[in-house]
Structure 1
Amino acid sequence: MKVLCVAEKPSIAKEVTSVLSGGRSTRRDSRSKYNANFDFKFTFPGHGLCDVTMTSVTGHITSMDFPAEYAWGRVPPGRLLDAPVKIQPDKSKLAIHQNIANEARSANYLMIWTDCDREGEAIGYEILEAAKKGNTRLSLSSVWRPHFSHLEKNHILSAARNPQNLNMKTVEAVHCRQEVDLRVGASFTRLLTDILRRSKLVDEIVSYGTCQFPTLGFVVDRYKRVKNFVPEKFWYISTSVEKSNQTVSFSWAKTHFFDRLFVVMLYEECMKSTHGTIKGVTRKPTSNFKPFPLTTVSLQKDCATYFKMSAKEALDAAEKLYQSGWISYPRTETDMFPPEMDLRSIIQTHTQDSRWGHYATSLMTVDGKYGIPRKGRNNDKSHPPIHPVKYVNLETITNDKQRKVYEYVVRRFLACCSTDAKGFQTVAELQWGNETFRASGLEVTEKNYLDVYTYRTWSSTEQLPPFVAGERVNLKSAEVKEGKTSPPNHMTETELIALMDANGIGTDATIAEHIHKIEQRSYITKKKTGKSHIILPTELGMGLIEAFSSISFANNISLSKPFLRKRLESLLKEIEEGRATKEFSLRETISLYKNAFALTAEEQSVLVNEFKKFQT
């Protein structure tokens, strides 16, 4: 019996071949320079020893487009919202198509080794369609779908021996998303470009995307809040007490007021008392909680914060580590480890490292050091949290970004398997007149996970002197002070990722690409300020968002806010879960965009006038 295996990337094909063949395979070139064929034998349960050929693709091998008669300039842009679409082989990947068709001719089964996510399922279906060109006997019933999240030997062997079916509901969700993106993106891109070119405001193509514009909208909104911010004065009462040669500042429980006269009145009432009284002192245990298991969004946010990497750079580095077999699949929403996962065996492999090996050893040997990982609220049921699969000496990782990401993944994993940091929080409460003030001190007694997770800090503060409840104290200082409100900070990539995730803009796997696209299109720019990078809108990006904001769309319809895209992402999940059909979801979504398109076309003069305000 013959089995044709197809992986999503050449590197994955090579690694899986090595495992399944036991290192005994022969390599043949194909018509595609980078997608070789590997021949070997493998025993599949119920089928015995089979002849196997492993080959690969490079992501999607088909593209969705309109027929030629709907090319730019041949039809009004609005026609694209109803125009027929076609799925055809990507012209740049015809050699890959032909190789799959050729290798499938004698195959009895097709085994799809694509990434186990939404896009991977759709690519698997594209592979089946290509294989059917060479072997019409192949069908969905002939497809084996291994589910794997990393390239460790036993994991791959188990996936090969326990394949599942290709999930056509997921494929339909991807096709729905692709069609919405094509129709909406093409129609609005042509409309915007035509309007602004006729007005001689732009020369280039002005590209619209259903995820890119809400992402840009977040940046513009923050920029406007900073620019338009007007500081406001406030007043508060500040006090301090001296005891045991130590000066302790107490914070007002009411924090502050914007009415100076009111604060002065309270202060004058307090001044009738010549001393204060310690109402109480509490000393309670406190903890600094270890992190949740690692998701894609958390990886991107932390790499932006700790290493100043863009979301795309972080995900690209993680992808390379995954393809090398060093970490698990880096696209996951799951923040809880499955109960059957052998976490201790992973820890054991890291006891040899010179940087974190001593800590890993303590987790294995010292009572109380190991802690059951926290459980988050998300489980995509496809992949576990990101974690190290194999131990690698950092010195052997030549790429700086990959080295940083690998170390971060390891330290995060070890932190998850640790106990929380522990300490004591002491709070003293001061009564002066009718007002209450508080001072606090922190004593860290056990750092625990912080010993390995060096990206966070939590340290003891100066300890409070031995205040006693009921004691009278003289105030060293007491005065009314003035402050003013501060503007919000400009957007950082960490914050932008969090906003996109919270508002359903894209998925954990596509957030990085959306940010990268609006930067490529010169809608945003990144600027270094001190040790951090901020994201600012360009004049083009600012003009586009403000132009759309000037149009009075109906409730919950906006081309620069997340409402429409969030609704689409919700519908895609319903398709996957069988609660909605592709046809219904497509019809509902396109109907909303049609309304927005009609109003945009009708009020294009408003759009142009607003856009002009932001062009120099």
Structure 2
Amino acid sequence: MQWGYIEILMGYLRLRISFSYFNVQYFSSKVMRYLNVAEKNDAAKGISAILSKGASNRREGFSQYNKIYEFEAPVFGQISKMIMTSVSGHLLNYAFHPSVRNWQSCNPVELFDAPIQEVCLDDCKNIKRTLEREIRSCDGLIIWTDCDREGENIGFEIIKVCKEVKPNVAVYRAKFSEITGPSIFRALSTLGQPNKNISDAVDVRKELDLRTGAAFTRLQTLRLQKVFPGKLADKLISYGSCQFPTLGFVVDRYTSIENFIPEVFWKIKMNHTMKDFTTDFIWKRDRLFDKNSCEAILDICKESNIAKVESVDSRSKSKWRPLPLDTVEMEKNISKKLKINAKTAMKIAEKLYTQGFISYPRTETNIYPKELNLANLVQQQTNDPNWGPFAQRILTEGGPTPRAGRKTDQAHPPIHPTKPAPSLTGQEKIVYEFIVRHFLASVHKDAQGFETTVIVDIADEKFTAKGLVILEKNYLDVYIYEKWYGKEINNYEVGETFTPSTLELTEGNTSPPKLLTEAELIALMDKHGIGTDATHAEHIDTIKTREYVGLHENVYFVPGTLGMGLVEGYNNIGLEVSLAKPVLRAEFERDLKMICDGVKDPELVRREQTQKYKAVFQTVVDKIREIDNSLANRLDDRPVEVQGEAVIPQDFQRPVMKCPKCGGNMIFRNRKTSTGKFLSCNGYPNCKNAAWPSAAIESVEVLDDHCPNCGPETKKVKMKFKQNPFIGDPNPTILCIGGCDIDVLETLGISVASVRRQPVNGELYNRNHNQQLDQRVAPPPIQNDNYRVSNVQATQAQFDNTNVRRSSNLMPMSQHNRSNNSINNFSHQNPSSSSNPGHSPSSSDIVCQCEIEASLRTTMKGVNKGRKYYKCANSTCNFFLWAPNDLPVAPSTSTAPAGPSAGNVVNCRCSQPAKLMTVMKNNENHGRKFYGCSKPMSEGCGFFQWADQVEENQNNGNNDDPWGGGGGSGGANWQHGNTSRASGKSQTNKNNKPRAKPYQSNNQPRAKRKCGICGEEGHTRARCPNT
């Protein structure tokens, strides 16, 4: 038994070992697949060529500009299948919600809080498709974007797109500074994780730039186009939080020149000629602005007329070699010495980088890292015919000896060549040559010279002369962009005396500073923290493109009249910190740096900076006339007088509520084909949600107060009607159309689905007697603020103190043909009175807002002639109430069978016989009969009812339905003919039979109506928003 047990155990162990061996063999033989994504196609091509050693296979992606390269390479010690592709810069970008993208959609100040979304740029959609397709078959994702802020953010955009397809894909970050073999293989062997802090900083920067840029641009453009229509009517007047401080530097320099007042000065000129060589001496006082004083000193010197040498100081003099090259110095030097503007220089440098000729050109570092093999980089340049001998000289004279700077971004080394480039031509060759010569100069020796300084005394006035002898040019032999000239002077000895050859008074004038050059402007931006080394060139190019500045002699920046006027206007507004000054943006850049370092929370910075700029915006709006006046002076134009509201688009309407379809803003617009208003999402045409009230609305005012039932995003509206459909309400009246009061929606003919995504508290108020009334809108059992009904526990409909319609408020005429137990009957009864359907309170029961007995009166004219109502006896308040026993009742199919075959009459909402008509258009309803209001369209009530539905409802015996008739809007005039409104409801009659749904014939669903102009659903030709 014991041996048998041992044999079984040994067999089990052998089986486990075999299974483990199989697993190891299987998983070790599985080839991993990685999707590699670079920032540009050239970079992808170069990296794949290095990793594959030139053996990659190329295939096409969805984007013709971004190829796919396949090869094998070692990842984590295992040969893996690599798929390399690229994006073209940013793949995603922030954009406002469609509801506010149109300049006419909102007040610009709302853009500081408007919803934004991250969208794929149109040019990048095919790139996105490529990523989505390729990641499906891959086990990991390797990001090869540039290792700076923007590159990190682009990497996270790629990650987002890929994880939407494959959420659990492993993500890695390759970090490199040059596209060379050692750098790329080192990056692949040391894969890490992307830095979300850096990406978050870019997200915050992009959002703030979007909000501030859009808000101020719309403000400036919309306002100034109206104020100066003769000169700025078609001008886009843009704003950027880096753009304007940059413009401010140019304006400040120009203003200092413009305000400069020259002054006359005097100085004493002295020189000494010996053996036909003249030495010039400089007066230690330099110059005086008082001529008399200067003349007095000269007279004293002339009386003595003997110059005595007090000191002769001779010492070595060095001209320092340049520091290692960072981005700012590269832009400044190329602009100043090569006359290539900074934007062009950066484009060329980026191209040289992606081709592998230079290291990454966006760096703040001016210290060569210890691990960088400088000698090898110098050796690569020894074969060049222009600077090769100098490179060889460096190696033979002790090797590279660079100066050490003080800046490092801990990400990239200084800009340097990575390999020879003998085939380059044009500006690429010029820029590459500058980078090589700068690199070689930075690793060689300082130039050496010998300087002599002579100080002489004449009657206690000191004069100085300096001479320089160049001993060794060293780095200047290769750095042809700088010169160092020697200067000879006569030989002097201490104690020696001589008579000056010239001793006289000269006159001169002070001169203003020169206009800024691009190099000087970049230096100012860098000093004050405006933008980054990577964005300086872009901001400068923007102010040139917008014509805020121009170039004098193609070198010096001169502000245009528009740029001058804007900066002066902002400076005159009296802001604590002017938008044309660098302070605000510099603070923001410091916050972004702290986000990158993980010190500050990005959401906190986002909120603080947005509110800061919003407060500045409000101040600018309040004092916008300062900008008007400054521009009037600079444009030499008289401003047109406009109101402060000119900032807001002419047809701007405040949002009433959020769109239930897309989350945009619902606003009222003017109908184009007739008078009146309609409710529409301002995200059109992306969102086509709209509601077309049947009532003729003359004006709408969106109030600041929100509906307490619908929430803070739903505002109350003050409506004025051509003919008030709310009998007894004042005109204008205050309403909520957010869906909390279905009476209002039905009376106005507004579909619930167009204003509300889902019912509040689970249920919308419904008139069906089988459905319980929502307690949120139920009338209270005690008196309200305006009137009370004595001895009736269930009070009648109320008017609150804001005249907002409530669910139990007075209803239109056609809504009172219900049975007495309907929740909305005006004679709500307690149990003791339920047996008396005809019960109504006497006149002594009705008390108006003045707390006195209401007066019972009779209507003497109009459609309600003979009807009784209650009114304040003293006419001191606005109380009004129809007498409960005389509620307006419209004829209904529940009492008068509809349809021509029965010989009965269908009445419209005007209480007039409806007109039987036939559809004449050639569509699916051709020949179908319907009832409509007999009055002209501009005067009618808009009633509509299919004739066959009236007949069907009568034949089904639905006369006792508490809704007053058949499905759709048939029979029950309270539906106002808006058949589409009821189409989504599951309604049943008392026999539990489904109602006939609107637009349904022969039990076949009817297609939705489409507009005859644009082909879209939801409206007709007469209401097409595209006309």
- Shared fold by TM > 0.5? yes
Q: Is 2:283 the counterpart of 1:260?
A: no
Residue in structure 2 matched with residue 380 of structure 1 by the alignment: 409
CA distance in 2, matches of 1:36, 1:246: 71
Cα distance, 1:244 vs structure 2: 3.5
Matches within 5 A, 1:313-324: 313-324=344-355
* Cα gap change, 1:206 to 1:274, in 2 (>3 Å): closer
Cα distance, 1:371 vs structure 2: 4.7
Among candidates 164, 171, 174, match of residue 143 of structure 1 = 171
Cα distance, 1:274 vs structure 2: 2.8
Per-residue CA distance 1:98-157 (angstroms, 9 max, x = gap): 11011101222110000000000000000001111321222xxx2211111111111111
Residue in structure 2 matched with residue 194 of structure 1 by the alignment: 222
Residue in structure 2 matched with residue 525 of structure 1 by the alignment: 550
Among candidates 363, 367, 371, match of residue 336 of structure 1 = 367
Q: Is 2:454 the counterpart of 1:432?
A: no
Q: Is 2:86 the counterpart of 1:59?
A: no
Residue in structure 2 matched with residue 236 of structure 1 by the alignment: 267
Structure 1 letter corresponding to 2:105: R
Among candidates 110, 119, 126, match of residue 95 of structure 1 = 126
Q: Is 2:568 the counterpart of 1:541?
A: no
CA distance in 2, matches of 1:519, 1:366: 47
CA distance in 1, matches of 2:499, 2:249: 51
Among candidates 596, 600, 603, match of residue 583 of structure 1 = 603
CA distance in 2, matches of 1:144, 1:259: 73
Give the number of the structure whose residues are more often helix, by fraction: 1
Q: TM-score, normalised by structure 1?
A: 0.96
Structure 1 letter corresponding to 2:402: P
CA distance in 1, matches of 2:305, 2:362: 63
Matches within 5 A, 1:434-453: 434-453=460-479
Structure 2 letter corresponding to 1:549: N
- Structure of greater Rg: 2
Matches within 5 A, 1:114-263: 114-138=145-169, 142-199=170-227, 200=229, 201-202=231-232, 203-263=234-294
Residue in structure 1 matched with residue 384 of structure 2 by the alignment: 353
CA distance in 2, matches of 1:121, 1:190: 31
Q: Is 2:482 the counterpart of 1:456?
A: yes
Structure 2 letter corresponding to 1:4: L
CA distance in 2, matches of 1:29, 1:242: 79
Structure 1 letter corresponding to 2:184: I
Per-residue CA distance 1:302-349 (angstroms, 9 max, x = gap): 111111111101111111111111000100010010012110111111
Secondary structure at the counterpart of residue 469 of structure 1 = coil
Q: Which moved more, 1:61-70 or 1:223-232?
A: 223-232
Cα distance, 1:35 vs structure 2: 0.9
Residue in structure 2 matched with residue 294 of structure 1 by the alignment: 325
Residue in structure 2 matched with residue 416 of structure 1 by the alignment: 442
Cα distance, 1:44 vs structure 2: 1.2
Aligned partners of 1:443 and 1:460 also within 8 Å: yes
Secondary structure at the counterpart of residue 315 of structure 2 = strand
Q: Which runs of 5+ in 2 are unaligned?
A: 1-31, 637-1027
Query: Alignment identity in percent?
Result: 40
Q: Is 2:633 the counterpart of 1:603?
A: no
Structure 1 letter corresponding to 2:538: E
Structure 2 letter corresponding to 1:315: M
Q: Which runs of 5+ in 1 are unaligned?
A: none
Residue in structure 1 matched with residue 641 of structure 2 by the alignment: none
Aligned partners of 1:39 and 1:51 also within 8 Å: yes
Aligned partners of 2:71 and 2:82 also within 8 Å: yes
Secondary structure at the counterpart of residue 93 of structure 2 = strand
Residue in structure 2 matched with residue 612 of structure 1 by the alignment: 632
Secondary structure at the counterpart of residue 336 of structure 1 = coil
* Cα gap change, 1:5 to 1:438, in 2 (>3 Å): same
Matches within 5 A, 1:364-379: 364-367=395-398, 370-379=399-408
Residue in structure 1 matched with residue 588 of structure 2 by the alignment: 568
CA distance in 1, matches of 2:74, 2:305: 89
Q: Is 2:579 the counterpart of 1:559?
A: yes
CA distance in 2, matches of 1:113, 1:226: 49
Greater RCO, CA 8 A, separation 6+:
1
Cα distance, 1:484 vs structure 2: 1.0
CA distance in 1, matches of 2:368, 2:279: 45
CA distance in 1, matches of 2:306, 2:145: 73
Per-residue CA distance 1:423-447 (angstroms, 9 max, x = gap): 0110111100011000011101000
Secondary structure at the counterpart of residue 426 of structure 1 = strand
Aligned partners of 2:212 and 2:241 also within 8 Å: yes
Structure 1 letter corresponding to 2:580: S
Aligned partners of 1:106 and 1:135 also within 8 Å: no
Among candidates 100, 106, 129, match of residue 70 of structure 1 = 100
CA distance in 1, matches of 2:67, 2:628: 52
Residue in structure 1 matched with residue 521 of structure 2 by the alignment: 496
Cα distance, 1:391 vs structure 2: 0.8
Runs of 4+ in 1 over 6 A off after TM superposition: none
Q: Is 2:115 the counterpart of 1:84?
A: yes
Secondary structure at the counterpart of residue 334 of structure 1 = coil
Among candidates 400, 415, 424, match of residue 397 of structure 1 = 424
Aligned partners of 2:363 and 2:415 also within 8 Å: yes
Q: Which moved more, 1:448-457 or 1:94-103?
A: 94-103
CA distance in 2, matches of 1:321, 1:470: 61
Per-residue CA distance 1:17-49 (angstroms, 9 max, x = gap): 011112122111111111111111111124x11
Residue in structure 2 matched with residue 275 of structure 1 by the alignment: 306
Q: Is 2:330 the counterpart of 1:303?
A: no
Backbone CA RMSD of aligned residues: 1.2
CA distance in 1, matches of 2:419, 2:603: 44
Q: TM-score, normalised by structure 2?
A: 0.58
Secondary structure at the counterpart of residue 578 of structure 1 = coil
Aligned partners of 1:242 and 1:474 also within 8 Å: no
